[in-house]
Amino acid sequence: MLHNTFQTQVTEVAPQARASAVALHAFSFFCGQALGVAFLGAALQLLGQFGALAVCAAVILAVGLVVGRLLAR
pLDDT for 1 beyond 80: no
* pTM of this structure: 0.63
pLDDT for 40 beyond 70: yes
pLDDT at 38: 94
Structural domain span for residue 6 = 2-72
| DSSP-derived 3-state class of residue 1 | coil
Domain count, the chain: 1
Cβ-based neighbours of 40, under 8 Å, separated by 6 or more: 52, 56
